[in-house]
Amino acid sequence: MSIFFYTKNVSFSVNEELVVNWIKESVETIGYVVDELSFIFCSDEYLKVINLKYLKHDFFTDVITFDYSNKKLLFGDVYISIDRVKENSTKYKTSFNEELFRVIIHGVLHLCGFNDNTVEEKTLIRSKENEALSTID
C-alpha cells in the first residue's frame, strides 16, 4: 500500500500519516484495499487545465479523480484544488480542514465506484463522506 502526496503551483502540506491511516481504514470498512494513490494538491488554474484537457469542462472544480483501480484494489490519482477548498469552506461555513478531508474522501469514494451524477448518488456519496469524516482522530 502506497499513498503519495504532491503539490503543483501551491505551497501546501497535510498531516500525511493521519490521512494515510484514515483513508486505509475508511476504504477497508467498505471492502476495498489501497494499492497506490497519489494526491496532487494544486491551484485552481492548474486543475482547470486538467478539467478542460481530459473532461472537456471549462470551469473550476475542487477535485478530479483518475481511476486505474482493479476491482477492489484502489489505484488512482486525485487532484485537489486548494483554492476551491478554501473558497468552499467559506461558502459552506465549514473549517478548511473539514472541507479538505471531505474532498479527499470524495475523490477516494469515486475510486470505490461511488458517483454523484444523480440526486440519489449525491445523497449516497455524501452519506459515505460523513461516515468517513466521523472517524477522523
Where does the pLDDT of residue 1 fall: very low under 50, low under 70, confident under 90, or very high at 90 and above?
Answer: confident
pLDDT tens per residue across span 70-110: 999 999 999 999 999 999 999 999 999 999 999 999 999 99
* Helix/strand/coil for 95: coil
70: DSSP letter? B
Please give the sequence-ordered ranges of beta strands (E in DSSP) within 10-83, or none if there are none: 33-42, 63-67, 73-81
34: DSSP letter? E
**pTM for the full predicted model:** 0.96
Q: Is the pLDDT at 137 greater than 80, yes or no?
A: no
- Per DSSP, what are the bridge partners of residue 73? 33, 70
Query: d(Cα 5, Cα 74) in Å, to the nearest integer?
Result: 16
**Is the four-CA dihedral 26, 27, 33, 34 of positive or negative sign?**
negative
